[in-house]
Amino acid sequence: MEKAVILVSGGMDSLVTAAIAAEKYEPAFLHLNYGQRTEKREFKAFNDIADHYRVTNRLVVNIDYLAEIGGSSLTDKDIEVSKADMNRKEIPTSYVPFRNANILSIAVSWAEVIDAKKIFIGAVEEDSSGYPDCREIFYDAFNKVIALGTKPETSIEIVTPIIHMKKYEIIKKGAQMNAPFSLSWSCYTNEDKACGECDSCALRLKGFQLAGLVDPIDYVYRPLYSK
Amino acid sequence: MEKAVILVSGGMDSLVTAAIAAEKYEPAFLHLNYGQRTEKREFKAFNDIADHYRVTNRLVVNIDYLAEIGGSSLTDKDIEVSKADMNRKEIPTSYVPFRNANILSIAVSWAEVIDAKKIFIGAVEEDSSGYPDCREIFYDAFNKVIALGTKPETSIEIVTPIIHMKKYEIIKKGAQMNAPFSLSWSCYTNEDKACGECDSCALRLKGFQLAGLVDPIDYVYRPLYSK
């Protein structure tokens, strides 16, 4: 089996991406800590998911320089986390400048050393809050950088299996594959019970609702969304 | 004056690049520690050069996960540093997998937050030992990733002012601009006196010789190169 590096934040999208990748590849799990507010809870989710899929090759990298650089409500406590607004046009305050390029670069360095051929990332273009680095054209451009910036004999490609899915489709797909949603964590604000109000909670809860399923994790508040 | 982020390793190429950038931009200096053997000496060179150009905006980022990932003689003591071989075809053991993409991603994150419009890097395509991520096509591709992966209103571009120069031309250019070569450090092996034998020393010494100048730093051994 060929190896693949899977970026596992511990959220729902990375969980379903890991489930998809693990069907065809020997998974190596990569997790990033970058001083995000819910870092500890995400790290627990990462390890729980890795245990579930019996992944022995795990790498955890601390990139808290992103918190030092700042510019995001995810890492800077002086910037308020945006409340969910499904009709918002501008990029939310949780956007971490150029975060995914930082993360992918690490993944490529690791993939080149362990001889992995693919890098799986659970980016979602649709309702993913308008982050510029979650779009397919961004990953296409990054694949060109990989081809040019690694050894000629290296062949590494970023794979985004859920990029064009809607949240409810991701949830249905995960449910079909028995992905353990109870182990995943999405909330940007809390570490014990999910808040139910941040962008990430709102997208998750609305997705479960549209999929006709119940999210197994605990919430402080479970809003109902109009379809 | 617009701001520019300058990547300053402390080596000669970054010194001359900083000298060029400082003529037109307010420089912000970025230095990376990644567990390279000569990290302390390079850091001293960085600070000495920053003092020389009176740069107050400095950021030092630790990316020693690259040493943990391994794969290079620069960071892995079990891999021998290649002796200089000007006619070598393959990529030398000092190549750090995808290092420059890691470094540039950090630079872009910082540039986006401090509102810098340019990122200067002293990459040299010619005699730069065949690293794939030192070629202009790599930077062109990376500029596309930046345009796609940052906020729409952001305009950040990588600038490589010495990429097509030969080492002796870089040295002549630096000498014209009174760049303080005595403060810079290039050796991959030693931290007190430069070894004179590693790839980096060999390129530097040969460059000074071809420029008809004398390198002001101390060497254990100063080989003479045939032209």
Q: Which residue of A has its CA nearest to B60?
A: A65
Contact B98 A113 (CB under 8 A): no
Q: What is the mean pLDDT of residues A111-121?
A: 95
Which one, of B103, A223, A128, lies nearest residue A136 by Cα?
A128
Taking the alpha carbons of A192, A193, A199, A204 in that order, is the dihedral positive or negative?
A: positive
Q: CB distance A65–B61 less than 8 Å?
A: yes
pLDDT tens-digit map of A183-220: 999 998 888 999 999 888 998 999 999 999 999 999 99
Record: contact A149-B133, CB cut-off 8 A: yes
pTM: 0.87
Instruction: Measure the N-to-C terminal CA separation of chain A; round to a whole number of Å.
Output: 42
First to last CA, chain B: 42
Enumerate the residues of chain A whose CB falls inside 8 A of the CB of residue B145.
Answer: 101, 138, 141-142, 145
CA-CA distance, B74 to A72, in Å (whole number)? Answer: 33
Residues of A in contact with B138 (CB under 8 A): 145, 148-149
pLDDT band at B186 (very low <50, low <70, confident <90, very high): very high
Residue type, B223: P
The beta-strand segments (E) located in A34-133 are 58-62, 118-120
Type of residue found at A59: L
Amino acid letter, A117: K
CA B196 to CA B217: how far, in whole Å?
A: 11
- pLDDT for res A168: 95
Per-residue pLDDT band at B127 (split at 50, 70, 90): low
| Residue B176 contacts residue B20 (beta carbons within 8 Å) | no
Please tell me the total number of residues recorded for chain A in this structure.
227
Is there a contact between B120 and B17 (Cβ–Cβ < 8 Å)? yes
